[in-house]
Amino acid sequence: MRLDKFLKVSRLIKRRTVAKDVSEQGRVLINGREAKPSSTVKIGDDITVQFGQKLVTVKVERLAESTRKDEATSLYTLVKEEPIAKDNGLNW
């Protein structure tokens, strides 16, 4: 499944166009590597997204073409959520 679609279906990001823009800005990593909107997401992948001044890392548990709002969080497990340290070496 495409990264931008997974971010939208899982409701980590509410709209696919926003997911695409965030990915194009280099604010999304899959397994520690910068990912494009068209990057393939597989079960078991770790996805890290920069939201403002925090990093959210999730593990992909399952893939679905669509989900209801109350089922969206079953697509992933939250691994960690942390503030961005100013000296972490990231260009974000």
Fold type of domain 3-83: 3.10.290
The 8-class DSSP code of residue 70 comes to G
Q: Please state, in angstroms and as integers, the Cα–Cα distance from residue 20 to each residue in 12, 27, 55, 82, following that order.
A: 12, 10, 17, 23
Say how many C-beta atoms besides its own lie within 10 A of residue 51's C-beta: 13
Percentage of residues in the chain with pLDDT exceeding 70?
92
Mean pLDDT of the chain: 92
Write the pLDDT tens digit of every residue in 21-32.
Answer: 999 999 999 999
The residues spanned by each domain of the chain are 3-83
